[in-house]
Amino acid sequence: MSEPLVLAATDGAVRTLTLNRPHALNSFTAAMHAELRAALDAAANDAAVRCVVVTGAGRGFCAGQDLNDAAMAGDDVDVGEVIERLYRPLALRVRSMPVPVIAAVNGVAAGAGANFALGCDIVVAARSASFIQAFSKIGLIPDCGGTWLLPHLVGRARALALAMTGDKLSAADAQAIGLIWQCVDDDAFADTVKALAQRLAAMPTKALADTRRAIDTAAQLSYADALRLEADLQRELGRAHDYREGVAAFLEKRKPTFRDR
Ligand code: T3D
């Protein structure tokens, strides 16, 4: 039997998904898309999972579209259809996960691989990693959410320069301009990701997922409407177990045990 293209490992409440095509820097084939979507769905549907980490096998995170995959690249392929069928659902799946998703960028993240990472909730990168909007070099525009994510994260000037030049951005520079949360020395990378994932997994999961939802939605709303959405979400969370537990634990000076999802 051939090796899985996405490895899934569970440690407590943390599910780690590892893109597993290291010989091609974990670039996306149609088959890897299918396994990744299935793995994300499985994590979303497993009540025991409270945080997901995505990372890459070998020296790269993900080099975007596999330019050798005949099913997705080449003269006869409708690239728009590929985006609609594979990349758009992937980006939306990540954004609708009921648990926080960490991108642990272990090496180069290029093209849709970079934007797949940037669409996750928290991006931690090893110092040796890099981010490349490789699309312009092959006559495309940023996809997998890049046209939305880049200006939201770093502003129009930097978004356009990154996308037009396709220049490699180091992990340290990516942190400096606010493209990612954190750049970590390579020898501390695995421990840092593990500690962050375990910490998030012990937090009130539903509130974290609703935080993402509120922040993403608020970007499209007026200030007044964002305030209304906050009230709606807070009303629902205020009636849930985790809020009562969080307040009780604070008052009783003990560690809370959260369970909502
Ligand atoms: O259907 C559609 O096309 C639409 C979807 C578009 C979404 C996109 O993501 S478009 C952007 C596609 N990605 C790229 O253009 C990136 C291409 N790769 C690179 O530019 C470089 O590989 C990197 C800058 C990422 C890394 O460079 P380096 O020097 O560290 O590694 P390398 O030697 O170039 O790559 C190592 C191997 O991975 C190599 O194979 P080999 O020679 O050892 O057998 C290389 O061919 C392979 N590889 C890297 N990226 C891809 C790839 N193979 C297929 N597709 C790739 N994208």
Is the CB of 70 inside a 6 Å radius of any atom of ligand 1?
no
Does 197 share its domain with 214?
no
Q: What's the pTM value of the predicted model, to 2 decimals?
A: 0.97
CA–centroid distance, residue 67 to ligand 1 (Å): 7
Full domain range(s) for residue 230 = 205-251
Q: Whose CA is nearest to atom 19 of ligand 1?
A: 63
* pLDDT range class, residue 104, cuts 50, 70, 90: very high
Q: What is the pLDDT of residue 70?
A: 74
- The pLDDT assigned to 69 comes to 87
Give me the number of domains the chain comprises: 2
Report if residue 260 sits inside a domain. Answer: no
Last residue of a domain, one of 201, 223, 241: 201
Q: Atom 39 in ligand 1: which residue has the minimum CA distance?
A: 24
Q: Are residues 158 and 39 in the same domain?
A: yes
Ligand 1: which of 25, 118, 128 to mutate, most ligand atoms within 8 Å of CB?
A: 25
pLDDT of residue 76: 78
Q: Which residue has the higher pLDDT, 76 or 41?
A: 41
Q: What is the DSSP string of 112-149?
A: HHHHHHHTSSEEEEETT-EEE-GGGGGT----TTHHHH
63 plus 142 within the same structural domain: yes
Continuous H helices in the chain: 30-45, 79-82, 88-95, 112-118, 146-154, 156-165, 171-176, 186-201, 205-218, 223-238, 241-251
pLDDT digits (tens, 9 = 90+) for 225-244: 999 999 999 999 999 999 99
Which residue, by CA, sits nearest to atom 55 of ligand 1?
A: 66
Q: What does DSSP say about strands 168-170 and 130-132: parallel, antiparallel, or unpaired?
A: antiparallel
Q: Give a yes or no: residue 256 inside a domain.
A: no
pLDDT attached to residue 72: 67
- Among protein residues, the one with the nearest Cα to ligand 1's atom 57 is 66
- Average pLDDT rounded to a whole number, residues 3-14: 98
Do 80 and 97 fall into the same domain?
A: yes
